[in-house]
Structure 1
Amino acid sequence: MKKITIPVNFTVFDSLEELPATVRTLMEEAVAIRKKAYAPYSKFRVGAAIQLDNGKVVVGSNQENAAYPSGLCAERVAIFQAGALYPDAKMLTMAISATSDNKPVVSPIPPCGACRQSIAEYETRQDVPIVMYFMGETGEIYQSDSLQNLLPFVFDKNHL
């Protein structure tokens, strides 16, 4: 028997003002689109913005449905839209912001497991890491240089 240690590294920014200007703008787009989330059940609103290598930015917000789990998270709305609209573009950076109508969200909210798997599919397909920044409505922002930090044992096409 042996033990495996998998190091993960995140950069932590104290606020939006500390982010590089281009990332701050992307996060501001995630914040703006989260306000358009359709979240009548959870009251938890998430926005995602993706910077593509062709200069375009694609956004998404969570879209709930009374027939759980028929809705989609913001990250998957954005990533699937980017894949549909710009299938040859590489996804370089993703910004994610979450808030709640019920209580303040002051800690960074990472993508859920289903979103991590969807992001992994595109990161593997394009063979370029997707840098992710995620935050609550205020407070610290975490930066991950790749989905590998969030899902180290990724299941991808190489396993099929």
Structure 2
Amino acid sequence: MREESPRSDMRRPDSDRASSLRSTPRSGRGGQTFGERYIAGVPARIMRPRLIFMACLFSLVCFGLLMVYSASSVEALHENGTATFFLFRQAAFAGVGVLAMVAIVRVLPDSWFGEDVLRIFLMGMIGLLVLVFFMGSGSRGATRWLNIAGIQFQPSEFLKPFAIAYS
């Protein structure tokens, strides 16, 4: 009587299955392996929340574009002759934001500059925040803006992405 090995009844992954979803071993009790799904090379248990976050982010951007269009179409028609002027402008800004996000995600912050350059940038941002107290302009009792060489900006907006990337 021929004895079959326990692995002879295991199925192999289909060759036509998507390469982004594949089954690979995961350690179980006593070093035994069980199948785990991967999405784009990352375990599914880690990737699913990220995909949900990206879907929510995409939905919010689309909803924002819809709100910009509904709130500004009449005024855009009167001022620019087309009702979609502000919609396309906002969509272009969203596209630039997506490209910047992809570029930032692909490169680690420490590889952009050395650690010393990041510290100098942080000190410069803190200096601009202190400068807001002395030279800042504002409205309705809040001083948040700096006006340097005719360009008005909020230094805190430059510090937010840096704080996210640095932490």
TM range (shorter): under 0.3
User: TM-score w.r.t. structure 1 length?
Assistant: 0.25
The structure with more strand, counted as a fraction of residues: 1
* TM-score (norm. length: structure 2): 0.24
Instruction: Name the structure where helix makes up a greater proportion of residues.
Output: 2
Specify which structure has the bigger relative contact order, considering alpha-carbon pairs within 8 angstroms and separated by 6 or more residues. Answer: 1
